[in-house]
Amino acid sequence: MTHYVELDVRPILAAGGEPFGRIMEVVTSLGPDEGLRLLAPFRPVPLFGALASKGLAHQDREIGGGDWEVLFTPALAPTASAAAAAAASVARWPGPLMHLDNRGLMPPEPMVKVLGAAEAMQPGEVMEVLLDREPSFLFPQLAERGHEWQGGFDQDGVTYRLLVRIGSVS
């Protein structure tokens, strides 16, 4: 049975902070039978891949008011179906056709540039964006436009690398 350590990042984000470092501190401190119960003001899709690489599977659900609960649980060894899912994910996420270096820009300029560039791209194309911080205010804008994203901090802990897959608004 998994015991969950709770981390509510909503106050950190509301204060203009960056919760990624705190999330990684908690993940690093987890014991073998422990998982993370994360509370966030949006669905933290970029964390799914970042924490999957740390051996954590996720289950997420909206808990009301736009807030989300995500349970990150120690994953079992990969199965054939997991390998097939990973291959399908690679097919859906081709190499980026556009690269933006938005480091050093003051908000909201990085968001404006990403959204503008996305308008010039075709559905299924991928853009790579380098940023100084996690773009938490950009995520709802991307979702509203039907785009998918994944990202996280590079190993240097300074550069946030975001991939945006252009979708079509229904």
Q: How far apart are CA 149 and CA 93, in angstroms?
A: 10
d(CA 9, CA 123) in angstroms, rounded, equals: 32
10 HSE (CA, 13 A, CB side) = 16
Q: Is the pTM of this model over 0.75?
A: no
**In contact, 114 and 135? CB cutoff 8 Å:** yes
Query: Could you tell me the fold of the domain covering 94-165?
Result: Translation Initiation Factor IF3 (3.30.110)
Report pLDDT for 80: 46
Q: For the chain, which residues make up each domain, given as ranges? A: 3-74, 94-165
**Which of 32-41, 52-61, 72-81, 142-151 is the least confident region?**
72-81
Element (H, E) at 120: none
Sign of the CA dihedral with 14 first, then 68, 117, and 89 last: positive
Nearest to 149 by CA among 122, 121, 133, 127: 127
Domains 3-74 and 94-165 share a fold: yes
Confidence (pLDDT) at 77: 46
Q: What distances in angstroms separate CA 84 from CA 43, 72, 94, 141, one per listed residue?
A: 24, 21, 16, 30
Q: 90 to each of 1, 14, 37, 126, 165, how far by Cα in Å? A: 32, 34, 28, 12, 12
- What are the tens digits of pLDDT across the range 50-70? 788 788 888 888 898 889 999
Q: Which of 14-23, 141-150, 153-162 has the lowest mean pLDDT?
A: 153-162
- State the Cα–Cα distance between residues 123 and 39, nearest whole angstrom: 31
CB 5, CB 35: distance < 8 Å: yes
Per the structure block, which two tokens stand in for 105?
């820009």
Question: Is pLDDT above 90 for 8?
Answer: yes
What is the architecture, at CATH level 2, of domain 3-74?
Answer: 2-Layer Sandwich (3.30)
CA 63, 11, 40, 79: dihedral to nearest 10 degrees?
A: -130
Q: Residue 77 has which token pair?
A: 């060894």
**In terms of pLDDT, which residue wins out, 28 or 94?**
28
Segment 73-126, tens digit of pLDDT: 987 644 444 444 444 455 567 888 999 999 999 989 999 999 999 999 999 999
Average pLDDT value for the chain: 85
